[in-house]
Structure 1
Amino acid sequence: MVFRSPYPDVEIPDVSLPDFLFADLGDRADRPALVDGVSGAALTYAELAAAVDRVAAALAERGIRKGDVVGILCPNSPRFAVVYHGVLRAGAVATTINGLYTAHEIAAQLADSGAKLLFTVAALLGTAEPAAAEAGIADVVLLFADDTAPGRPTVDDLLASTAPVPDVRIDPAVDLAVLPYSSGTTGRAKGVMLTHRNLVANLCQTTPALELFRAVRVLAVLPFFHIYGMNSVLNHGLHTGSTVVTMPRFDLAAFLGVIARHRTERVYIAPPVAVMLAKHPMVDDYDLSALQLLFCGAATLDEELAGAVAERLGCIVHQGYGMTELSPVSHVIPDLRPDVPLGTCGVPIPNLECRLIDPATGEDLGVGERGELLCRGPNVMTGYLNNPEATAATLDEDGYLHTGDVAVFDERGFITIVDRVKELIKYKGYQVPPAELEALLLTHPGIADAAVVGVADSEGEEVPKAFVVRQEGEPGLDGRQVMDFVAERVAPHKKVRLVEFLDAIPKSASGKILRRELRAR
C-alpha cells in the first residue's frame, strides 16, 4: 500500500539552489535576510545576494571549479550563509562539519569528501589546522578578520575580489550541492550526496504545510552544519522571505533573550530544548509572547511534553520526521491542523510516496500495521559518496529509501514513529553510529570485544552504552577508564555514558552483534 500526502503535488523548478533563492528578489531586496542574534548586525536580501556572488567569484579566482568540494567548519552566523551559498554559486559542493568534532574526525570527513579548501573561524583553528594538514588542505580561510590569527585570508578578502562571477551551468538533477555526513541506518558516517534539485524540491514540498512560515522572524539556533538547520531553517527561511536570526550555539538564557529581543515568531528546536522550556524556571523571566510556533525535529517529541510546552508558552508546538538522506523532511504536522495529534509526525509531504514493509519478509503492510518506513520522491538522495554497498543497502531498485525506522499510519493518514530497525543511536538529536564507537573501543589494549547500543537514561534520553569484554589479564579495567578512553577521542555527543562488562558479546551464527539482546538487558 502506498501512502501519499493530503496535499496535491507541487511544481519543482529546474534551477540551482542559489538561483531558486536569489535570482528574483522582488520586494524582498531591502528586507533583512539574516540577523546576528548576538550583535544585531544584519544583511538585507540584496546585500546577501551580492556577497554570495563575490564569494563565488573569489573562489573561482582561487581555483575552485565546478564539482570541487569545500569544507565549512563554522558556527551559525550570517557569514556562514554567505560562504555556503557562495560555494554553491561557484558550482562547488559544500561539506558542512560539526564544530564539536576532534581534529581526527574533521580530517576524516575532509579526506573522504576530497575537500580542497576549508572555511573556519579563529576559535576552531586548534582543531581545523591539524585536520586540514592531515587531509592535505593548504587553503584555510577564516570567516572573520581576527587579530588572534593575523595574516590569514578571510572572507573579507574574498568579498573584496573584483573577479567576474563564474558562469557555471548547473544540472540540478545531477550536480551535487551539499555533502553532509550521516550514519544512515548503520555504520560509520558517510557523505550523503544531495543535488540542487533535492534541496529545492524539499523547500517546495514543505511550503504548503508550513503556512505560518511567510515573511516572519525565524530563530536559527540549530546548527547549519546539520541538514535540519541548513535546509529546513536557513534555506526555507530565505525561500519564504523571512528574517533568519542566527545564534552560534545554544545557551538557555541567550536563547530566551534572543527570542524576546528579536521577537522571533517561529523557532526550531530538538527535544532536549523542549524539556527545558517545559520545566526550567528561567523561562518565566522572558517575554516570549511573539512566539507563534515551536517546531521540534531531529528526534521524536513526546506528546505529553509537547502539550506542556504549548500550554506554558501559549504557542503551537509541532513536530515532523526526516533524515539527512531525505533533504531532510518527509513528514510534517501542518501549521494550521490542530486536529493532528502532537505525538505523531503528521502527514507525508507532497510529491512523496511512502510504504510500510515487514522488515523480515519485505511484505507490504497497511493502515494500523507496524513496518519499516520507505520513502520515494524528488528529495531522496542520489546515494552515499564512494560507497555503492551502503547505497544499495539503503536505496532499492524501485527508488525507495529504506529509513530504518518502524512506523504506523492511522486511518486518518497520520504517521507515528514507534521503533527502530537501524542501529543508529540518537543522542540529543545527534547521530551516534555504534560501529564507530565499537571500532574505537577495540583499539584499547585491555578490551577483547565490545558492542554499543542505545539505552534510555534516567531522563528518558537515549544514550550510548558499551558492553565490554576484558582481555585476559586485564581484570582491573573499569567503566570509568573505558568512558575516559572514548571521551578523549570523539566529539562530546559520541561519548559512552554507560559501561557493562560481559564474558562474551552475543552474536548470530554469521557473527552479527545481537543488539536486541543487549538492549533487553
Structure 2
Amino acid sequence: MFTSPYPDVDIPNVSIYDYLFAGLSDHELDGIALIDGTSGAETTYRALISQVEGVAGALAARDVDTDTVVALLCPNSPAFAAVFHGILRAGATVTTINSLATAEDIEKQLKDSKATWFMTVSPLLTGAKAAAAAIGLADDHLIVLDGADGHPSLRDLLAEAAPPPSVTFDPATHLAVLPYSSGTTGVPKGVMLSHRNLVANVEQSRQLITIESADRVLAFLPFFHIYGMTVLLNLAIKEHATLVTMPKFDFVEFLRIMQDHRCTYVFIAPPVAVGLAKHPLVEQYDISRVRMIFSGAAPLDGALAQAVIDRLGCQLKQGYGMTELSPVSHAVPQTNDDLPLDSVGFTIPNMECRLIDPETGEEIDLPTEGVSAPGELLCRGPNVMLGYLGNDEATRAIMTEDGFLRTGDIATVSSEGVVTIVDRLKELIKYKGYQIAPAELEALLLTHPAIADAAVIGIPGDEGQEVPKAFVVLQAGAELDEAGVMDFVSEHVAPYKKVRRVQFTDAIPKSSAGKILRKDLRAAERVRQD
C-alpha cells in the first residue's frame, strides 16, 4: 500500500454550501465569481450567494427538501453555478445530465434517479420536454432557466425572494450529487456522492492543484461532468478565483475568451492540447497570461504536453481520477517540474492506494528504487463514492470488502510515489474525455433487425483519440453496409457515442459463460493494424 507524500488534511464535517460560501470577507464578497465568456456579464460572490439562497428558498417553498432529487440539464454558465448550489443549499440532491444527451438518455436518467423536478434551458427544451412527458413530469416541475411559455424560469424563482430553508443532514451520508458513470464497464449508473465526498475532494485536491484568488479560470469543460463540477466549479469557488464560462467548445471562441478575459488557468482534456500545440490560429491570439494548463479526463501523451509547453511558455500538468472518486485521486503538483509529463503525479492526501496483479490478484510491492511492475490501481479514501444508486451488484463488483475502489486502470508507481497510468483493464472507451460503455452500444446494435450479434471496442483513431469500433454479425440473408450501421447508432445516441468504425464478421468471440471476449477482439485489431 502507498499513500501521498503530502500530509493528511482536515476535512470539515459540513455541507458543500457551508464549505464554499460561509465566512467570506467583504473583500471576497465583492470579488468577481463568474464571467459569462460569451456576453462578458459579471457576477460577484455577493450576488452569487444571493442567487443561490434565492433558488434554495423558491425550491423549499415548492416542498423540495432532503428527499428530493432535482435533475439539471444546462451548459456552463453563471446560471448553472447559482442553480446547482441552490439545489444543494435546499438540501436536495442534484443529478446532472450531459448537455449532449438524447431524449432517450434523459428519460433513462430521470427514471433511474427518481427525479421529481427538472431544470434546463430553452436550447435543450425539446429533448427535455419529451423526456419529462415520458415520465409524467408536470410542466410546473420543468423549470426553464431562461424562460419558456408554461414553465417557471430562474427569474421567477428569484423574484419570489423566499428565504432559504433551515436544513439539517449528515454530510457524510446525505447525497449531494448523482452524476452518471459507466464505472469500469456496463451501462451508466448513478454515482452516489455525499457532501463529505465533495468537500473532501476539493480539500484534498487544493494541496496539489493550486488555483489562486487572482486567477481567471477558463471553464469550458462541462460542469455536469464530475471533473468540471469539482476541479473547476467548486475548487475555483473555494479559492475565491474568477470562473470564465463557455457553454460549448469552439476552438476560435476558446482562444478569443482566453485573450479577451485574460485567463490565467485553463483546464483541458487532451484533444484541446493537440490544437494548442499545432493549430496555426493560436498565433493570432494573445494568450500569454496563461500560466497553467491542467489536463485530465483521459491520458495525455508526454511529447504532446511538451509541445504545448514549448509553444505557449506556460506550465502544463495532468491528473487522474474517475467519477466514483469525486473525481481526483492523483495529480502532478504545480510546484514540481521534475516529474515525467506523462505521469499523473502523486496520490492526493488522505488516500491509500494499492496495485494488484490482474492475473493473480497478488498485491504488487512498492519498489525501494525504480518503478514497480504494472497492476490495477485501487484507491481508498474519504472521496470514494457511497456506491451506485439501486445497484448493489455493481457496487460490490467495483468495491473490495475493505473499502478500496477498483479503478480498472493499470498503473505503475515509482519508489518516490509517482504514478503513471500505462493501460486500461476496464472496457470503457474514452473519446475526447467522455466515457462510452461498449455494452450500451452493443445493446443498441442488437435492436437492429438486420444484426444478429455485435461487439464494440475502442481502437486508436485520429490524433491518438480512442474511437468506438463495432464488430457486426448480420442475420442470414440481411443486407446492411457500414454506413447503415453508423447511421443507425447515430440516430439514437449523443454525438460522442457514435460508432466510427465497422467490421462485419462471422462470429463474436465469447467465453463459455457467454461473455464477449473483447480482449480477443483488441488483440486481433492490434495484429491487423500492425
TM class by smaller structure: over 0.9
Partner secondary structure for residue 288 of structure 1:
coil
Task: Tell me which residue corresponds to 1:55.
Answer: 55
Give how far 1:361 is off: 2.3
Q: Is the 8 A contact 1:271 1:299 kept in 2?
A: yes
Q: Following the alignment from structure 1 to structure 2, what is the Cα–Cα distance between the partners of residues 459 and 57?
A: 48
Match of 1:161 in 2: 160
* Structure 1, gaps ≥5 residues long: none
The aligned amino acid for 1:360 is E
Task: Determine the structure 1 residue equivalent to 2:496.
Answer: 493
* 8 A contact 2:211–2:239 mirrored in 1: no
Question: 2:470 matched to which residue of 1?
Answer: 466
Residue deviations 1:310-335, cap 9 Å, x none?
11011001100000000000000000
Aligned partner of 2:387 among 383, 388, 393 = 383
In structure 2, the CA distance between the partners of 1:73 and 1:458, relative to structure 1 (3 Å rule), is closer
Q: Does 1:240 align with 2:239?
A: yes
Partner Cα separation in structure 1 for residue 135 and residue 307 of structure 2: 47
Three-state SS of the structure 1 residue aligned to 2:421 is: strand
After alignment, is 385-394 or 17-26 more displaced?
A: 17-26
1:313 has 2:312 as partner: yes
Separation of aligned partners in 1, 2:422 and 2:186: 22
Q: 1:94-133, aligned counterparts within 5 Å?
A: 94-133=94-133
Matched, 1:3 2:13: no
Aligned partner letter, 2:498: K
Deviates more, 1:207-216 or 1:274-283: 207-216
**Shift of residue 297, structure 1, vs aligned partner:** 0.4
Cα separation, 1, equivalents of 2:137 and 2:428:
31
Shift in Å, 1:424: 0.6
Partner of residue 181, structure 2: 182
Conserved 8 A contact 2:211-2:236:
no
2:137 matches 1:144: no
Report if aligned partners of 1:507, 1:514 keep a CA contact under 8 Å in 2: yes
Contact 1:35 1:41 in 2 (8 A): yes
Q: What does residue 482 of structure 1 align with?
A: 485
What is the rounded CA distance, in whole Å, between the counterparts of 1:164 and 1:263 in structure 2?
36
Q: Which amino acid aligns with 1:161?
A: E
> Are 1:297 and 1:320, in contact at CA under 8 Å, matched by a contact in 2?
yes
- Aligned partners of 2:48 and 2:163: how far apart in 1? 17
**Using the alignment, how far apart are the partners of 1:360 and 1:158 within structure 2?**
56
Report whether the alignment pairs 1:516 with 2:519.
yes
Number of the residue aligned with 2:363 = 364
The alpha-carbon deviation at position 304 of structure 1 amounts to: 0.1
Say if 2:211 and 2:241, in contact at 8 Å, map to a contact too: no
Whether contact under 8 Å (1:90, 1:168) holds in the other structure is: yes
Check conservation: 1:115, 1:137, Cα contact below 8 A.
no
**Residue correspondence of structure 1 range 410-425 to structure 2 within 5 A:** 410-425=414-429
Structure 2 match to 1:221 = 220
Contact 2:34 2:245 in 1 (8 A): yes
| Structure 1 residue 499: Cα displacement | 0.5
Partner of 2:527: none
Q: Is the 8 A contact 2:73 2:97 kept in 1?
A: yes
Which residue in the other structure is 2:20 paired with?
21
Alignment CA distance shift 1:213-1:323 (3 Å): farther
Counterpart code for 1:95 = T
Q: Which amino acid aligns with 2:519?
A: R
Structure 1 residues 212 and 162: alpha-carbon distance in aligned structure 2, compared to 1, 3 A threshold: closer
Question: What secondary structure does 1:237 align onto?
Answer: helix
Match of 1:449 in 2: 453
Query: Alpha-carbon deviations, 1:236-261, whole Å to 9, x = none?
Result: 00000100110000001110011111
Following superposition, which runs of at least 4 residues in structure 1 exceed 4 angstroms of deviation? none
CA distance in 1 between partners of 2:169 and 2:65 (Å): 12
> How far apart in 1 are the matches of 2:413 and 2:403?
21
Partner of 1:428: 432
What is the CA–CA distance in structure 1 between the aligned matches of 2:184 and 2:485, rounded to whole Å? 26
CA offset digits 1:405-463 (Å, max 9, x no partner): 00000222111101111111101110000000000000001111100000002432100
Specify the code of the residue in structure 2 equivalent to 1:83: V
Q: Distance in 1 between matches of 2:338 and 2:483?
A: 48
Indicate the residue corresponding to 2:297 in structure 1. 298
Shift of 1:151: 4.1
Give the match's secondary structure for 2:324. Answer: helix
Looking at structure 2, the residues matched to 516 and 61 of structure 1 have their Cα atoms a distance apart, in angstroms, of 54
Q: Is the 8 A contact 1:487 1:495 kept in 2?
A: yes
Query: Which of residues 377, 402, 408 in structure 2 aligns to 1:404?
Result: 408
Kept in 2, the 8 Å contact 1:108–1:135? The answer is: no
C-alpha displacement at 1:496, in angstroms?
A: 0.4
Are 2:77 and 1:77 equivalent residues in the alignment?
yes
Contact 2:398 2:406 in 1 (8 A): yes
Matched, 1:230 2:229: yes
- TM-fit CA distance, 1:351: 0.1
| 1:343 match | 342
Shift of 1:3: 1.1
Give the CA deviation at 1:67. Answer: 2.7
Rounded Cα–Cα distance in structure 2 between residues aligned with 1:202 and 1:99: 24
Identity of aligned residues (%): 60
C-alpha distance in 1, partners of 2:443/2:77?
35
Do the aligned residues in 1 keep the contact of 2:20 with 2:237 (CA within 8 Å)?
A: yes
Q: Deviations over 1:50-74 (max 9, x none)?
A: 1111100100111211131101001
Contact 1:212 1:335 in 2 (8 A): no
TM-score where L is the length of structure 1:
0.98
Q: Deviations over 1:465-500 (max 9, x none)?
A: 0001010111x2111101100000000010000011
Q: Distance in 2 between matches of 1:339 and 1:403?
A: 26
The residue number in structure 1 matching 2:441 is: 437
Shift of 1:212: 4.5
Q: Secondary structure at the match of 1:230?
A: helix
Counterpart residue number, 2:510: 507
Gaps of 5+ in 2: 525-530
Instruction: Decide whether the 8 Å contact of 1:25 with 1:46 is kept in 2.
Output: no
Cα distance between partner residues in 2 of 1:294 and 1:257: 16
| 1:359 Cα deviation after fit | 1.6
- Name the SS of the counterpart of 2:255 in structure 1: helix
Matched to 1:76, the amino acid is N
Number of equivalences: 516
The SS at the match of 1:19 is: helix
